[in-house]
Structure 1
Amino acid sequence: MTAGTPGQEAHETDPQALPDSAERLRVARIGKPHGIRGEVTAQLYTDEPEQRLAPGAELIRTPGAQTLDRSTTTLTITRQRWNKNIALLSFAEISDRDSAEALRGSTLYVAVPALEDTDEDGWYSHELAGFSCVDAAGQPLGTLKELLTGAAQDLLVVTSGSGEEVMVPFVEELVPEVDVENRRIVLTPPAGLF
């Protein structure tokens, strides 16, 4: 799962860039139309499509480089289904194939809570990326590159001082503390992991 909040200059030149004030999570990219009633295929960027793309969900749409409709709009999902392994989406605002074609290449985002408002057991990768990782004694271990979410457990990808990427299971035994205020994560890795 990824999201971005580029600077204002990027926003003015890149139609897919988000303003500084945005806290958004990229969830899908609109593909080609499917049928004649406005349904579209979607490339998913979320591991929770049933929740993020449920009927009634409001998504922020930004145009892609080749998108015919260049405006940023909000789309409301009316239906999400699967055709084999392809996700299909329908929107309240789109009712025909031509309107669906105009959206091709657009990126869909959901608004996410700010890090301070997130409960202690849930973070997004973009919120933790760049945090320093230290051992229980405060000795540096590296910098968090990203948080990978998985079905069984999440993993922290830490870039060590030597540049090696080390994966640490995001469980309390190995990650006893996430200090948001100081942008620091305390790790208690097994011997030899770093």
Structure 2
Amino acid sequence: MQLVVARIGRAHGIKGEVTVEVRTDEPELRLGPGAVLATDPAGAGPLTIETGRVHSGRLLLRFEGVSDRSGAEALRNTLLIAEIDPEEMPEGEDEYYDHQLMDLDVVTADGTEVGRITEISHLPSQDLFIVERPDGGEVMIPFVEEIVTEIDLEEQKAVINPPPGLIDDRAEIASSRDDASGEEES
């Protein structure tokens, strides 16, 4: 199975290094020296990582055969793809690869069907499950412990405890106005 692990950004310096937007929780495993990665577009690769380092909070990589700025700039926006065993699990407890979560049935704790995960959106603050409802609509569910209480890969389901208004119209309206006087303004 193929997994996108990074996107190449702009060239850094004149010796062929590139900035990389990391898309894996395991960059030391997937993006280490010697790693051979497929690419999208396929014509840019495969690429073998020669060196890697962190500079000002960004990962910089140099690939074998890319020794100057123009070669590095030609790789801009290329996706780096690692081949992984579909049975492989992430190292951390309660961590999952996207392909493991896709198509899981989403249900509430009482068993009410919510829908099926069709996409996972990775945002800076949190990940979101994009869930297709049985009626064809969509709902976005934050992938946070308070809402997604259980992932059961054997049963192929995600159990959620949604706050009011997340998946229905039971929202509780809170007001900061003090209506204690009971008088209306005219």
Give TM class, smaller chain: 0.5 to 0.7
CA contact (8 A) 1:131 1:144 kept: yes
2:67 equivalent among 75, 79, 95: 95
Q: Give the alignment's TM-score, normalised by structure 2.
A: 0.63
Q: In structure 2, the residue corresponding to 1:127 is in which secondary structure?
A: helix
Q: How many matched pairs?
A: 166
Structure 2: segments with no counterpart, 5+ residues: 168-186
CA separation in 2, counterparts of 1:179 and 1:143? 14
Residue 28 (structure 1) shift: 1.1
Amino acid corresponding to residue 73 of structure 1 in structure 2:
P
Q: Which of 16, 19, 22 does residue 38 from structure 1 map onto?
A: 16
Deviation string, structure 1 residues 114-159 (Cα, Å, up to 9, x no partner)? 3553354111223212111112232210111223344543332222
Q: Identify which of 29, 37, 41 aligns with 1:60.
A: 37
- % identical equivalent positions: 33
- Structure 2 CA distance for aligned equivalents of residues 169 and 131 of structure 1: 15
Whether 1:114 and 2:67 are equivalent positions in the alignment is: no
**Cα–Cα, structure 1 residues 96 and 180, in superposed 2: closer, same or farther, change >3 Å?**
same
Between the aligned partners of 1:97 and 1:173, the Cα distance in structure 2 is 46
- Specify the SS of the correspondent of 2:120: strand
> Cα 1:88–1:131, aligned 2, differ >3 Å: closer, same or farther?
same
Structure with higher strand content? 2
Computed over aligned residues only, the root mean square deviation of the Cα atoms, in angstroms, reads 3.7
Q: For structure 1, which runs of at least 5 residues remain unmatched after alignment?
A: 1-21
- Partner secondary structure for residue 130 of structure 1: coil
Q: Is the alpha carbon distance of 1:158 and 1:37 closer, same or farther for their aligned partners in structure 2, counting shifts above 3 Å?
A: same
| Cα contact 1:53–1:77 (8 A) shared by 2 | no
